[in-house]
Structure 1
């Protein structure tokens, strides 16, 4: 990579060859990717009821099937996307991710049966896998080491804003369009048309962003040597990097952090609804609205404190920042054990703490990984890290969900205990975490000892 004068933009120190426009493009990518990723699950009930004319029990079965198919698709492909990005560059993978999400969104409302819907959900998941891995990778590529936590913080801010736009704006499109297409007199036909137009709008936005990314993301290669390395070897390198204590800690932190994010969205509103129905204090609709407010508090706090934790992460040793974040997240989740009434005001305080812990854990894990791996296999490493997060969602949600009916705080307790285990592991290895010299990692030729069996960048 050619040397360029050092630049600063938005308080970040840009990497060689990266221009302010490239950094702005990465923020747009974070906003748009999270917006589309959030929209589909939120709009799924509308899709099932309006297009497939599903009924309650069938919808539950279909939703479970779609979620399982999507998670399996992501787990199987995440490491390969990282290897592809190291081999061919970040830009083609990002564009492919948006294109897959856009095309599947365009076709979703025309799925005439569950089988077609599952196939489209898998295609969408393949796009999500590409985008999830590249969000972290691009955020690290575009800035120098001293700005990487702040870069993650900004990515978290724009991702949160994208999620808010999806939930507060895009999800309302079907109802708005249905009124304009005939309101109550339009009946089922108006509802189906409104759903299709809504997904068409989202698909066109997504495809437009894909085109924008092609022209605005950096075309510079992070490491030319990786273009000649077989994909299977890049995947293997991403996995074997875990022998480094810092990489292992980052992978473990991601396992918990991504699961935390899923638990907030899935179990926090469900806890409120179940309690309200049992106590008879509210109707289901009222309880659902209350649960939405609770989740909204957690996500709003997470969105607007992401830059704060990014700033803090650049002022601590990266492993120490991870420990602080994991301890905070664990304490937040375990604080749910003190809540006896999820309809009371105390749940709002707990939700705010959960939002803080959730974003702190996400923002700090990535920069630690960046300082431990060479650029030649950086995307492969982030593919494996995102894979760890997907497995964490599957494991922690499943274990917590098994006990939820008898103990609604179970998912949060499981997440809290998992966080404490990561803290214990981090304390055990923190003195053994040695950052990889960036100038060494940036110039690893294919076949060098550092790139091979002894582990990238490790003598």
Structure 2
């Protein structure tokens, strides 16, 4: 008999301890990955003394480098997780991320910063791939929307927690008598140690093994072919496009809200540390309130056609990111409703995308299909950060957000087309899956 965790029915072979460990991973890993972007403005300003006029481009190029690495590796990590299991890839990614995070504040030049970001990126690619796979491994189909919603809620809580941690700790160390550079180093070392310990927790708590018995493992050639062929399914193709956008949403929010705060803080006479501390309230409130929408939307998704859910998510995103045209600064708290809206939109896009691709991906090659999806996500971040960074410096801080609004509008039209021509089925009409996930 399959186990349950509250209202969530777990897939065959998944224990409550496995699920709880994964939920901890959702909180920690996404918080750390988002935290790298959040602390970027502090690193450039206080530790490397980069002029603010060039910070948008450098931040975009750093993220661009990370996503080039992700594009090369993320689908490979997906295939690898089908071959050797989810757990070893997850542990590897966590440990490499901790090393990258520890090295990052010791960069003495922009070149070194790129090298350390590349190390971080290898681990981030592994984590991004496996997190997206496990969220579809662990639930039974009728609980997929609920588990993905909880996954997204914990992501939001992780982002809020690490924004608070990374926003407050440098000031705490500075007030204790340390200079800004040492304060930044101690802050990031603390997070690196926490990440390393988390990797050991994953080694103990995540389910081991592979999705199939050893003799039934798909070949690498078969996995690669399936990943490409799956795009012929219009719903999977839509999910690939939406994954591109979902990752771009999160990346733009993580990089450019804090960078916008540092830029605005200069005009107000605030140091980078003070501006980051002030914008923490915006990050925390928006992520906490977006949780409400995550629960509501996750419940809705389990009751409606999942392409319809995608239409809803794309429409909300077009409205939310388009409204950023009217925002002057994230440090002006009267603009808080706009930031709440984009945070809710981002979490809704993630939920809709994960639910659709989890429903449509073949069980035996799920890791590969989701790995290809993660590849598209990496392309989305690459484009959003590269062009977003340039738009930030040329058009002003609103530029990256308006780019995302235009992309949402394009995918809204695509989602409507798929809903009309190839809507698929509600999961209740499909056979119940039986699988041995890892």
**When the two structures are superposed, what TM-score results if normalisation uses the length of structure 2?**
0.86
1:390 has 2:378 as partner: yes
* Deviation of 1:65 (Å): 4.6
The counterpart of 2:405, out of the listed 416, 437, 440, is: 416
Per the alignment, residue 269 of structure 2 pairs with 283
1:237 has 2:223 as partner: no
2: distance between equivalents of 1:352 and 1:57?
Answer: 26
1:254 has 2:250 as partner: no
2: distance between equivalents of 1:213 and 1:407?
Answer: 41
* Deviation of 1:26 (Å): 0.7
Aligned pairs for 1:335-374 (under 5 A) are 335-338=323-326, 347-374=335-362
2: distance between equivalents of 1:401 and 1:122?
Answer: 18
Secondary structure in structure 2 of the residue aligned to 1:376? coil
> Larger deviation: 286-295 or 323-332?
286-295
* Deviation of 1:14 (Å): 0.7
1:40 has 2:26 as partner: no
1:317 has 2:305 as partner: yes
Q: What count of residue pairs does the alignment treat as equivalent? A: 428
Per the alignment, residue 215 of structure 1 pairs with 204
* Deviation of 1:229 (Å): 3.1
| Structure 2: stretches of 5+ with no match in the other structure | none
1: distance between equivalents of 2:106 and 2:269?
Answer: 34
1:205 has 2:194 as partner: yes
* Deviation of 1:226 (Å): 8.5
1:82 has 2:78 as partner: yes
The question of whether the paired residues in 2 share the 8 Å contact of 1:87 and 1:227 is answered with: no
Render the CA deviation track for 1:20-74: whole Å, top value 9, x for unaligned.
1111011011111022213333334555667x65443798476455333212111
Residues 265 and 228 of structure 1, relative CA distance in 2, 3 Å threshold:
closer
2: distance between equivalents of 1:341 and 1:100?
Answer: 35
Q: Indicate the RMSD between aligned Cα atoms, in angstroms.
A: 3.2
2: distance between equivalents of 1:333 and 1:142?
Answer: 32
The counterpart of 2:51, out of the listed 45, 52, 56, is: 56
* Deviation of 1:429 (Å): 1.7
Bigger radius of gyration, 1 or 2? Answer: 1
2: distance between equivalents of 1:21 and 1:374?
Answer: 26
Residues 368 and 126 of structure 1, relative CA distance in 2, 3 Å threshold:
same
> Larger deviation: 154-163 or 52-61?
52-61
2: distance between equivalents of 1:441 and 1:295?
Answer: 40
Per the alignment, residue 454 of structure 1 pairs with none
Per the alignment, residue 99 of structure 2 pairs with 103
Residues 343 and 196 of structure 1, relative CA distance in 2, 3 Å threshold:
closer
The question of whether the paired residues in 1 share the 8 Å contact of 2:96 and 2:123 is answered with: yes
1: distance between equivalents of 2:351 and 2:93?
Answer: 22
Per the alignment, residue 161 of structure 1 pairs with 157
2: distance between equivalents of 1:213 and 1:379?
Answer: 18
Say which structure, 1 or 2, has more relative contact order (CA 8 Å, 6+ apart). Answer: 2
2: distance between equivalents of 1:42 and 1:284?
Answer: 17
Secondary structure in structure 2 of the residue aligned to 1:169? helix
2: distance between equivalents of 1:299 and 1:173?
Answer: 20
1: distance between equivalents of 2:58 and 2:85?
Answer: 36
Residues 199 and 410 of structure 1, relative CA distance in 2, 3 Å threshold:
closer
Render the CA deviation track for 1:246-265: whole Å, top value 9, x for unaligned.
10111111122221222223
Render the CA deviation track for 1:377-405: whole Å, top value 9, x for unaligned.
11111122122122122324444554553
